[in-house]
Amino acid sequence: MRVLGIETSCDETGIAIYDEANGLLANQLYSQVKLHADYGGVVPELASRDHVRKTVPLIQAALKEAGLQAQDIDAVAYTAGPGLVGALLVGATIGRSLAFAWDVPAIPVHHMEGHLLAPMLEDNPPAFPFVALLVSGGHTQLISVTGIGEYTLMGESVDDAAGEAFDKTAKLLGLDYPGGPMLSKMAQQGVEKRFVFPRPMTDRPGLDFSFSGLKTFAANTIRENSEDPQTRADIARAFEDAVVDTLAIKCKRALEQTGFKRLVIAGGVSANRTLRSKMAEVMKARGGEVFYARPEFCTDNGAMIAYAGLVRLKGGSRAALSVTVRPRWPLAELPGLE
C-alpha cells in the first residue's frame, strides 16, 4: 500500500511517498526561508501563494523519484491542521482533488501527530507506551502516548513555544530569520555559566512551560552588556542552556508520573544538538531510551504526513468529499484506532 503525503501547514512544501512494504520511496521538500527572511517571519499570504506554485511540481518530482505513476498510489494524505489556514487549504484542496481524480481515499492528517510519529520512520522505532515532547516553533507539549490516537496532554507552554523563543531571542542578538538554528550554532562558541538565566516554572509543581519571561530576561541581558561577539555567544549559550534544562526537568517529571521508560522528542527543536545530548544523559541515568527522527524529519516534511496517513488509512480514516481544515486542532481530539 502506497500513500502520497502532502505537507503545507506553514512555510515548507513537503511531498513524499511511503510504501507499507518498502518504506520511504520519495521525499521532496521546498523551504520558503528565503522568501520570508526579509520580513523577519512567515507572511501567511506569501506562504499560501508559494504553496500554490510548488505543490504540484513537487508531486510530479516525487512520482518520478519513486518511479511511479498516478495509478500506483493507493491513498493521498494531506495536513488538515493545525497551521496557517491559507497554507492548509492549498495542500488539502490539491490532495482531496487528486484523491477524487485517482479514485483513492483521501486522508486528513493532524500535523502534530505527523511529528509525533516521525521517529517511526527510523530503523529503531519506539514501542508504546512513551512520553512525547513535541517541541517546535508553534508547540511545546508533553504528551502521554499509549497507542495511536491515545494521547493525554500532560503539560504545554502557556505563552511562547520553545522554538518561537529561540527565534525571537536570535532576532534580539541580531541574527537573521529563522534565527533558532543560528543561535544554537553561536552558543557552541559561548562560555558556560558566564551568564545564568532562570529555568522558568521549574520551582513549582506541574508540567506546563513558559518561555516569554526567559526571552525578556535575554533582552535585558543583551541591552546591559557589550556587543562584542564573545559576549553575544555567551548570552546565546546561557539562553540555550536554560531552555534545554527546563525541557529536561519537565521531561523527567513526566517520566516519573507515568513510569514510562521511553521518551520521544519530535518537532523542529528536536534537531538541536544540545537538547539531544542532554536528553541522552537523562535517559541513560534513568535506564531508559530516547528516540528522535533524523534531522531532516524533525522539521516539517511530507514523509511524516505520508506515514501518519498510512497509519490512519489502516485504521479506517477517510475524508469526506468536502475540503475541511482546522487551523486550531487539539491533538487529544484525535480518535484512537479500533
Q: Write out pLDDT tens, residues 19-44.
A: 999 999 999 999 999 999 989 899 99
Confidence of residue 80 (pLDDT cuts 50, 70, 90): very high
**Class of the 128-292 domain?**
alpha beta
Annotated binding residues: 111, 115, 134-138, 167, 180, 272, 300
Answer yes or no: same fold for 2-117+297-333 and 128-292.
yes
pLDDT single digits (tens) 214-269: 999 999 999 999 779 999 999 999 999 999 999 999 999 999 999 999 999 999 99
Residue 125 preceded by cis peptide, ω within 30 = no
Specify the amino acid at residue 143: I
The cell for 130 is 512513551
pLDDT at 226: 73
pLDDT single digits (tens) 291-326: 999 999 999 999 999 999 999 999 999 999 999 999
pLDDT single digits (tens) 122-135: 999 999 999 999 99
Specify the amino acid at residue 114: G
Q: What are phi and psi of 129, to 5 degrees?
A: -90, 165
Q: What are the domain boundaries of the chain?
A: 2-117+297-333, 128-292
Mean pLDDT score of the chain: 96
Q: Is the dihedral of CA 166, 247, 239, 237 positive or negative?
A: negative
pLDDT single digits (tens) 143-195: 999 999 999 999 999 999 999 999 999 999 999 888 999 999 999 999 999 99
Confidence of residue 279 (pLDDT cuts 50, 70, 90): very high
Specify the amino acid at residue 48: S
Prediction pTM value:
0.96
Annotated binding residues for Fe cation: 111, 115, 300
pLDDT at 227: 76
Annotated binding residues for substrate: 134-138, 167, 180, 272
pLDDT at 2: 98
Dihedral angle, C-alpha 280, 283, 284, 287, nearest 10 °: -160
Query: Strands, E, within 127-195: which ranges?
Result: 130-135, 140-147, 150-156
Confidence of residue 137 (pLDDT cuts 50, 70, 90): confident
- Give dist(CA 104, CA 125) in Å, integer: 28
Please determine, looking at this structure, whether the domain spanning 2-117+297-333 carries the CATH number 3.30.420.40: yes
Q: Does residue 338 register a pLDDT over 90? A: no
321 burial type by CB count under 10 A (0-12 exposed, 13-18 middle, 19+ buried): exposed
pLDDT (average), residues 48-76? 98
Residues 23-37 as b/e (b if ≥16 CB within 10 A, e otherwise) read ebbbbbbbebeeebe
Strand, coil or helix: 207: coil
In the block, residue with C-alpha cell 479500533: 338
Rg of the Cα atoms in the chain: 20
Query: Strands, E, within 112-229: which ranges?
Result: 130-135, 140-147, 150-156
The residue count of the chain comes to: 338
pLDDT (average), residues 105-115? 98
